[in-house]
Chains A and B, each alone.
Chain A
Amino acid sequence: MSAVLPTVKSAEVGAQRIVFGVMVAFFLIGPALGMYPVFLMKVMCFALFAAAFNLLIGFVGLLSFGHAMFLGTAGYVCAHAAKVWGFTPELAIVAGAAAAGLLGLIAGLLAIRRQGIYFAMITLALAQMIFFFCLQAPFTGGEDGIQAVPRGKLLGVLDLSDVWNMYGTVLIIFLAGFLLIYRTVHSPFGQVLKAIRENEPRATSLGYNTNRYKLMAFVLSATLSGVAGATNALVFQLAALNSVHWSMSGEVVLMNLVGGLGTIFGPVVGAFVVLAMENYLATLGFWVTIVQGAIFVLCVLAFRRGIIGELGRLIRKPL
């Protein structure tokens, strides 16, 4: 048994490396294949957001229905920092992520003691509170949002108003975030998280302070969501209410459901599919939400593994 295990492991890692390579290649040559760069940047931001979300649902078993609060708060803070305080882009993103992380700590302390549906409802309610805060706070601009956010110069040299400079920056942020999540999942810390997911009482009896582990995972997820939200705000040069609305929290769940809960690459594929739909269904008018709802129902009833989950089952390797 012990002799077989490492080879299985390396085969798994091998498959994941190949997929990782495909993914990087896709984002590198996507624009050359005629994919619209702004769209791909959005996909990368939301893929990071979805992957951060997946860290909770897939590896700790916690369904947060309020993750939009981290995405949106970071977007607002980043936009405000860049526009009003004149922060450089990297500092603005750090500020946004830090705000999301802090919010994650507070929300986590309140929510982490409950599980399952309780946890989902509590995070949803907290996010609704943040929505009203963002709606009413003077610095967010209410319905107008924060507009015309300057992208600025990265580290004072690289002008991000050039689309390819921005594209490269987003790609690097996305890959860094993605790899961080990958490392976390495969670290001893990640193993403890999985143990908690499988059997929390046992993890407790083994001497782990499970609530602390869950809280750490929650804060990490919130912070990375914040990075995604802040980057997105810079790409579109705006921050607005819809990113804190609860339907955004629903959308990130949908991305994971479509891609595959608890898979490494599922969130990325899911984000791409959902956003492509949102983009191309736009001309269909009324049908956007209906199609999204139908996909939810379909995934839950017949397709619970998601695209990557099914693919992984096909080649018998977790992806």
Chain B
Amino acid sequence: MVFRKLALAASVAMAMATAAHAQISDGVIKIGVMNDQSSLYADISGPGGVVAAKMAVEDFGAAKKGMKVEIISADHQNKPEVGSSIARQWYDVDKVDVILDVPTSSVALAVNQVTREKHKLFLVSGAATSDLTGKACSPNTIHWTYDTWMLAHGTGSAIVGTGKKTWFFLTADYAFGHALERDTSEVVKAAGGTVLGAVRHPLNAQDFSSFLLQAQTSKAQVIGLANAGGDTINSIKQASEFGIVKGGQSLAGMLVFISDIHALGLPTAQGLIFTETFYWDRNDASRAFAKRFAPQYKGNMPTMVQAGIYSSVLHYLKAVEATKTDDGDKVAAKMKEMPTDDPLFGKGRVRADGRKIHDAYLVEVKKPSESKGPWDYYKVLATIPAEKAFRPESEGGCELVAKK
């Protein structure tokens, strides 16, 4: 039975293997979307990430071009061993050619390593750590949407540019929070600002009032939130309760997604400043995408991570079409060689260290009175040009760059 199935599959593959696709392994381009579908980060990509990948395959017109593309997905449950073993199994047994998304730094770094070993391809959208294109960079990994360096620098320098020069940090007390605080402090100081102090709070702290009071007494103009997820939401919520923004201090988020703003509601989140690389209501193309996306995902507008998945799949398929192979090493090289261009992120490129660069936007959350309806949340304050938004190649310590 198994043999017959195999034989059948082989004959189908042979029939399909036209000259153009002679080197597509087993005749199918298999895309694996791996992310957190059940826990902390489920809302920034999760099942919506799979929707975005499917839309990209449709929009590319894979079927019309005779390319057979299959998408599978898995929940890594934020456990690096689970992520690492799914990745290995996908590559070895299921013949997956490319893995997408993978939020949670620890899991992304694990998949990064497996992908490199197996000479496949890893397109990161959800993970934040800039190590993926720094000391852990790999020829087989492309970091698409955002990273910690870009968020910290974008937000830091743009805010100091508006004349708010004194800062106080609320930092989640672990490596990730420390990195955000360090990166932002550097750019604040370089731009002529001063950091008055910082307070380290434990991860998943429920109550921030004590830390907020310390921030309040510091009299800093800007309170930088070097934390993520529930911690950011709770600190913003309680800052509004303690009248911090009304008292004249601004809140700057280092890692905030539109899903977080949706969770907070405008009355609480208004005035918050942070950086995004995608906003659904930015231009006609992004609006058109969002209008198609929302009905397929419980009415939610896409986050930048989901948009990044769409954009990376599109570019990937273009590269496969151009190289006529799904070999990880060759496609990765092609993706770096070809300039990127898609409706959501516009023109950009992929650098040698694997960093995809595009414009970033400094946004401020609207007041409830300014918002015209659900999901109308941002005012775009400034556009940070692609070449300035991300860490310069030479500073990441990536070995691929040093070789050049």
A interface list, Cβ under 8 A from B: 36, 38-39, 42, 132, 135-136, 138, 141-145, 147-148, 232, 236-238, 240-243, 278-279, 281-289
Contact = CB atoms under 8 A, between A and B. Distances in A.
A238 B77 contact: no
A318 to B, nearest CB: 32
Contact of A144 (B38, B47, B82, B109): B109
25 contacts: A42-B85, A135-B174, A136-B174, A138-B175, A142-B175, A142-B176, A143-B105, A143-B174, A144-B129, A147-B109, A147-B113, A148-B136, A236-B85, A238-B81, A240-B79, A240-B106, A240-B110, A242-B78, A243-B81, A279-B82, A279-B89, A282-B75, A285-B37, A285-B46, A286-B42
A279 B37 contact: no
B299 to A, nearest CB: 18
A236 B75 contact: no
B201 to A, nearest CB: 11
B84 A236 contact: yes
A191 B302 CA distance: 62
Contact of B80 (A135, A136, A240, A278): A240
A242 B73 CA distance: 21
Contacts of A282: 74-77, 82, 86
B174 A38 contact: no
B106 A283 contact: no
Interface string B192-231: 0000000000110000000000000000000000000000
B38 A132 contact: no
A145 B109 contact: yes
Contacts of A243: 81
A143 B106 contact: yes
Contacts of A237: 113
Contacts of B81: 42, 232, 236, 238, 240, 242-243
Nearest to B77: A288
Given A36-B85, A147-B113, 17 more contacts: A39-B85, A136-B202, A142-B175, A144-B105, A144-B109, A144-B176, A145-B80, A236-B80, A236-B84, A238-B81, A242-B79, A282-B74, A282-B76, A282-B82, A285-B37, A288-B75, A288-B77
Contact of A242 (B75, B80, B113, B203): B80
B199 to A, nearest CB: 14
Nearest to B81: A236
Contacts of B173: 135-136
Interface in B71-110: 72-82, 84-86, 88-89, 92-93, 104-106, 109-110
A128 B129 CA distance: 25
Contacts of A284: 75
Contacts of B78: 242
A238 B110 contact: yes
Contacts of A138: 175
Nearest to A290: B38
Contacts of A289: 38
Interface in B39-69: 42, 46-47
A264 B131 CA distance: 45
Interface string B346-363: 000000000000000000
Contacts of B93: 36
A42 B82 CA distance: 10
Given A144-B105, A147-B136, A283-B75, A39 B89 contact: yes
B303 to A, nearest CB: 17
A209 B113 CA distance: 51
